[in-house]
Homo-oligomer: A and B are copies of this chain.
Amino acid sequence: MSRYAIGVDFGSESGRAVVVDVADGRQLATAAWSYSNGVIDERLPIEQAVPLKPDWALQDPEDYLRVFRETVPAVLRQAGVDAEDVIGLGIDFTACTMMPTLADGTPLALLPEYRANPHAWVKLWKHHAAQPEADRINETAERTGQAWLPKYGGKISSEWFFSKALQILDEAPDVYARADRLIEAADWVIWRLTGVETRNATTAGYKALWSKGEGFPDRGYFEALDPRLADVVDAKMSREISPTGDRAGGLTPEAAEWTGLRVGTAVAVANVDAHVSVPAATVTEPGRMVMIMGTSTCHMVLGEEEHLVPGICGYVEDGIIPGYFGYEAGQSCVGDHFAWFTEHAVPESYQVEARQRGLDIHVLLQEQAGLLAPGESGLLALDWWNGNRSVLVDAELGGLLVGATLATTAPEIYRALIEATAYGTRVIMEALETNGVPVNEVIACGGLADKSPLIMQIYADVTGRPFRLSASDQTPALGSAMFGAVAAGADAGGHATIEDAARAMARLKDLTYEPNAEATAVYDVLFREYVRLHDYFGRGENTVMKTLRGLRARAKAGEV
């Protein structure tokens, strides 16, 4: 008798569910649903239409629950799977994506008195307006010699939990005071499904400065940051952190009604989209990096030992696979980069041709960019349109394009942007290897990896490493289903460990992008130039990007 698990993956723009056979990982059906309110970055989606400042990115918590209602019944129906045969459910989420709630889990954004306050809403991972708070967190950590700081590459990001929490406190102290809980959206969703408030080890470890050995930073540190923040962990969070793979609880009757699943179906502790993809991409051992390539890219690699790697997002013991240190790095602008380009910089003639030929504009641009040899565009870019996560950890950096001439074409720029993201990846790989964490091969997953042979080949050529692809087109959701199968346990027909689940359920495609030595030789030259610009603009020698950002903010605020 077949047993099934369901995985639900919450992305930046949409959520998607898969139903998977726990015996072999076969995906029987998938369904996606785009959030009604998507990424909220201009104004709140309410009657008053409250405008947002630059760098804000919010979401609507109700969109997350709609994902369950819209997708889970759909995949059951499509797959013809009986809810009785579904033994477990797992979810993964973008992170840090967090919100303030009441003690019963009600998001403050749903309360009429807070609905027009942007700070009551969910702060999406790419909300970058908490940079001043991140700066303070870093300065205070340096000043007080916090031992955890070097583990996060020496600098924490504006995207992370305490940056966002502190921004709420700074700018909306009433919201902060009213918030009984500050919680990752990932954990909030599990709370809604099971009625049990848990805190997952992955977001706690990678985004909220928690570690298995040391717990959270101590009260004195938070007090030094802001006296009102001294008790944030005990008052609004929790010190009980649930390990990856654990069962959070069973579905409540209400959640069973949303999903069409049995009451009591095992629900795994929440996880992060990138991290959950690692075993789903067959990786449960060191040396093979998993890259999850979507709007942004996460780079995950396991290590047997503890190493400090400057500028990575962090490493967490047991953070990905129990028994290993899970190293995470990231690039904040990858698919977003190409999407920006097609929206803001591609001439009409290409759009017309794409329509006439029935092609997606990206397919057309990649077709033309693919005709170019390495170096032929004459262009080099710094892929910092959305700042730099690894290894500079600086959201206030900006994009750069150099080498344009009057003969420069859109496909040339497009290729230069692809190459720039590949150089960014190579910087991360070299930082890891230099510091003792080998990266011999890459397993890529996510929409960009599946859809873009050109991008994969450029990445292989630029990094000089083979790139393989996860067989699933829904790797995170598959990973979540795998954790759902582990939460259900072997006795219920699931799996005892994530390694067991990976062996049974994870696959690679029969396709390898091998680096081309001639191309790599050209890219070596370009990469040296990239690194030089990277260091010049990114490490403080020329701070023009920050000056520009400051002037822009002043102008937008009407101060000039």
A522 to B542, CA, bound (A): 19
A556 to B376, CA, bound (A): 6
- Flag the segment in A8-16, A227-235, A367-375, A469-477 that touches B: A367-375
Could you tell me the distance in whole angstroms from the C-beta of A207 to the nearest C-beta in chain B?
22
Contact flag A385-B408 (CB < 8 Å), given A378-B552, A380-B548: yes
**B340–A408 contact, CB under 8 A?**
yes
Could you tell me the distance in whole angstroms from the C-beta of A196 to the nearest C-beta in chain B?
37
The answer to the question of A407 belonging to the interface, with a C-beta cut-off of 8 Å to chain B, is yes
**A408–B551 contact, CB under 8 A?**
no
In the A-B complex, the 3 residue pairs with the closest CB atoms:
A375-B551, A378-B552, A399-B404
From A386, A400, A405, name the one whose CB has the most chain B CB atoms within 10 angstroms: A405
- Flag the segment in A346-354, A436-444, A495-503 that touches B: A346-354
**B406–A398 contact, CB under 8 A?**
no
The answer to the question of A547 belonging to the interface, with a C-beta cut-off of 8 Å to chain B, is yes
**B399–A548 contact, CB under 8 A?**
no
Interface flags, A539-554, vs B, CB<8A=1, else 0: 0001011011101101
**B347–A560 contact, CB under 8 A?**
no
Could you tell me the distance in whole angstroms from the C-beta of A518 to the nearest C-beta in chain B?
7
Interface residues of A (CB under 8 A from B): 54, 333, 336-337, 340, 343-348, 351-352, 372-380, 385-386, 398-410, 413, 518, 522, 525-526, 529, 532-533, 536-537, 542, 544-545, 547-549, 551-552, 554-556, 560
**A400–B401 contact, CB under 8 A?**
yes
**B398–A385 contact, CB under 8 A?**
no
Could you tell me the distance in whole angstroms from the C-beta of A405 to the nearest C-beta in chain B?
6
Q: With a CB–CB cut-off of 8 A, which chain B residues contact A345?
A: 345-347, 410, 413
A547 to B518, CA, bound (A): 17
Could you tell me the distance in whole angstroms from the C-beta of A347 to the nearest C-beta in chain B?
6
Could you tell me the distance in whole angstroms from the C-beta of A376 to the nearest C-beta in chain B?
4
A160 to B551, CA, bound (A): 40
**B542–A532 contact, CB under 8 A?**
yes
A278 to B549, CA, bound (A): 40
A555 to B337, CA, bound (A): 25
Contact flag A544-B380 (CB < 8 Å), given A401-B400, A405-B385: yes
From A54, A346, A378, A386, name the one whose CB has the most chain B CB atoms within 10 angstroms: A378
Count of this chain's copies in the oligomeric assembly: 2
List 17 A-B residue pairs with CB atoms under 8 Å apart, sorted by A's residue number. Answer: A345-B346, A345-B410, A345-B413, A346-B347, A347-B347, A374-B560, A375-B551, A375-B554, A377-B552, A379-B548, A385-B405, A385-B406, A398-B405, A399-B401, A403-B549, A529-B544, A536-B542
**B347–A344 contact, CB under 8 A?**
yes
A406 to B555, CA, bound (A): 18
Q: Which residue of B lies closest to A342 (CB)?
A: B347
Q: With a CB–CB cut-off of 8 A, which chain B residues contact A344?
A: 347, 408-410
Given A375-B560, A385-B405, A398-B405, output 15 extra A-B contacts at Cβ < 8 Å: A336-B406, A344-B409, A346-B347, A346-B348, A374-B555, A376-B551, A376-B552, A378-B551, A386-B406, A399-B404, A403-B549, A522-B555, A533-B542, A533-B544, A536-B542
**A378–B548 contact, CB under 8 A?**
yes
A560 to B520, CA, bound (A): 11
Could you tell me the distance in whole angstroms from the C-beta of A558 to the nearest C-beta in chain B?
8
Q: Which residue of B lies closest to A54 (CB)?
A: B407
Q: With a CB–CB cut-off of 8 A, which chain B residues contact A552?
A: 375-378, 403
**A555–B376 contact, CB under 8 A?**
yes
Q: Which residue of B lies closest to A396 (CB)?
A: B405
A548 to B424, CA, bound (A): 18
Could you tell me the distance in whole angstroms from the C-beta of A473 to the nearest C-beta in chain B?
25
Q: Which residue of B lies closest to A551 (CB)?
A: B375
Could you tell me the distance in whole angstroms from the C-beta of A220 to the nearest C-beta in chain B?
37
**A560–B405 contact, CB under 8 A?**
no
Q: With a CB–CB cut-off of 8 A, which chain B residues contact A372?
A: 555
Q: Which residue of B lies closest to A126 (CB)?
A: B406
Q: Which residue of B lies closest to A519 (CB)?
A: B560
A403 to B344, CA, bound (A): 15
Could you tell me the distance in whole angstroms from the C-beta of A316 to the nearest C-beta in chain B?
29
A463 to B542, CA, bound (A): 24
Could you tell me the distance in whole angstroms from the C-beta of A1 to the nearest C-beta in chain B?
49
Q: With a CB–CB cut-off of 8 A, which chain B residues contact A404?
A: 385, 398-401
Q: Which residue of B lies closest to A57 (CB)?
A: B406
Q: Which residue of B lies closest to A543 (CB)?
A: B529
Could you tell me the distance in whole angstroms from the C-beta of A254 to the nearest C-beta in chain B?
38
A348 to B349, CA, bound (A): 8
**B410–A403 contact, CB under 8 A?**
no
Could you tell me the distance in whole angstroms from the C-beta of A263 to the nearest C-beta in chain B?
43
Q: Which residue of B lies closest to A408 (CB)?
A: B344
Could you tell me the distance in whole angstroms from the C-beta of A469 to the nearest C-beta in chain B?
26
Could you tell me the distance in whole angstroms from the C-beta of A419 to the nearest C-beta in chain B?
12
Could you tell me the distance in whole angstroms from the C-beta of A544 to the nearest C-beta in chain B?
5
From A380, A398, A403, A408, name the one whose CB has the most chain B CB atoms within 10 angstroms: A403
Q: With a CB–CB cut-off of 8 A, which chain B residues contact A374?
A: 551, 555, 560
